[in-house]
Structure 1
């Protein structure tokens, strides 16, 4: 066990090396903090994720991460209940594609380059408050002391439980990656608004693979699996046992969920930060990770209000997006056919979808428009 000698205390320990954690570690290190980044997995590792990068994410990606972009997508197809596909050509690309294994490794590399130390295969078993520090006990028995802990260990992670995260809703995403065939010539994303309230399916084209997946509210595992099987059959794809398939829970926070407990702060999915309609979380991870890392470094440099400012920034900039996303999800859940028509058939709906994906507007700004409020009020 380590003693509490100042040389043995880390300024910042980040738990979880996904986009939020690696970004937090990078910015904390750039701020002059002595940083340790932990992850229970051995890197590089596979991660269930469509890998779509919207403009809000791209604007914040470091050079290492930008180099992992495999495709810029200029077309999207929409369907409802696996019916006829309406294709929309967007001119300039509206979304980029990354492989999460490479993307996450690139973010870790950027954190290490900034000065953070990385330790994979390190599973945090418990956190305890101790004389103004936080003691982290690992599964192998090692102990660490930190002035600030940033929790970015994902849905149901140990740090989130320590802080007391409260979740509004959790969903199960299932996906499979299949090799692209010569006949898979499309360069577009395909989105299908699904057979049950709030469900949807996707195809995201990568350089050598197609990521095919579905998402549905947690608690319906068998029917979600059947949904994925039906979607794969509809696409005339034939995955083999060698193709990657996996599942992952996504979650978003209840309105009263804490972001912090003392000097333990949360970022990204651990904090329940994602957009509820699309379940897009990478942009939330990169933004909250950056802010958390900056705040953690400032706190260790004597800025007593830094962690308070982090909470305030999340509340001011990210929580409103979650709130509007919940409104959109309620509309989509009640009227998927009308929602499909608005996005795929109307010029205004298509324009807002593409502009949102490019990072040219936000859901919050869109909901300030009078016509959007009228339509949303009518559908709700």
Structure 2
């Protein structure tokens, strides 16, 4: 056993959700252990776009990792002619996940959490003595509360019983910005693809360009070909590629559990992301912080303190997910309609910019019954 004294909180997974949870729990006075299979910094497949909601959650120690500030977005459908929406003030931030995640981890350690790399959890055990035991390859870790942030399909999520509604495959090439590149360093490019619900992106990040696509899991060859077509369209086929990788994302069924006894889950592990754009960093940062705060309280007063975390997910994040799922259903059925609304109507363009800036939320859709009914009709 790791020691005779249990940790107040053990956080499994040191991505944005896990580091946010560990930092919040440590600031709440808990004795915190944060573990991850990998050492940091490490590469992570992710577009790296930071909504205003995300930037508001980033601790001061990590603010320097926001490298690009976006003022324009160009929309195309099947790589056709584009339409640009813009605002004088930046509405979206860009980051590389290696320094971003490492800075969030450093902020957690600075707050008092202990970090251990190379730790893989193999089994979650309930000793029946008011603790949770985690069996690893070389030891058993014991804590009063465990926060699972070990990613989509992670062991902690399976223990809690997370129910997944959809799984998507994202593919991304991290390419070097070619000399003399004539693209706009303050603009993102978004293309709605041929596969239902799919889209592609180009996110500029100084000396690198994130070029990727995402589509529902089940057609990997079509998704790879979409990425190849997108790179050809952008003229980036011959650009040196620093990383080429894939990643599965998942989003939860409504009402899927986030707490089981003394164990709770956050971020990707809980299936918390926005279904239409598959944006997950804002969900990871918020749910991670809430989970850490609840875990610190529960380590002192008992697992009933975790109920507040479940209520926050239900009242704040679930309406956003409902709105995103409704938009995705319409987008899968009528992609041209969504493209027209976002890129050719003043309301649609303004809502997209305000959503990215953190000034509008998809919860406004998810909470309006009449809007949801209209979207349901359109998605049939």
Q: TM-score interval w.r.t. the shorter chain?
A: over 0.9
State the partner residue of 1:284.
283
Tell me, what secondary structure is at the counterpart of 1:301?
Answer: helix
TM-score by length of 1: 0.95
Contact conserved, 1:12 with 1:147, CA < 8 A, in 2? yes
State the partner residue of 1:174.
171
Distance 1:367 1:304 in 2: 30
Distance 1:65 1:248 in 2: 24
Tell me, what secondary structure is at the counterpart of 2:57?
Answer: coil
State the partner residue of 1:53.
50
Distance 2:44 2:172 in 1: 10
State the partner residue of 1:142.
139
State the partner residue of 1:38.
35
Tell me, what secondary structure is at the counterpart of 1:305?
Answer: helix
TM-score by length of 2: 0.95
Shift of 1:283: 0.5
Distance 1:326 1:346 in 2: 22
Moved over 4 A (4+): 239-242, 366-375
Contact conserved, 1:178 with 1:239, CA < 8 A, in 2? no
Could you list the runs of 5+ residues in structure 2 that have no partner in the other structure? Answer: none
Contact conserved, 1:171 with 1:218, CA < 8 A, in 2? yes
Shift of 1:368: 6.1
Distance 1:150 1:159 in 2: 8
Q: 184, 187, 206: which one pairs with 1:186?
A: 184
Could you list the runs of 5+ residues in structure 1 that have no partner in the other structure? Answer: none
Q: 96, 111, 114: which one pairs with 1:114?
A: 111
> How many residue pairs are counted as aligned between the two chains?
376
Q: 25, 29, 38: which one pairs with 1:28?
A: 25
Shift of 1:128: 0.6
Distance 1:239 1:245 in 2: 14
* Higher alpha-carbon deviation: 179-188 or 271-280: 179-188
Contact conserved, 2:171 with 2:245, CA < 8 A, in 1? yes
RMSD (CA atoms):
1.7
The superposition leaves residues 262-294 of structure 1 with CA deviations (integer Å, 9 ceiling, x where unpaired) of 101000010000000000001011110010000
1:87 and 2:76 aligned: no
Distance 1:138 1:100 in 2: 26
State the partner residue of 1:155.
152
Distance 1:304 1:134 in 2: 11
Distance 1:257 1:377 in 2: 21
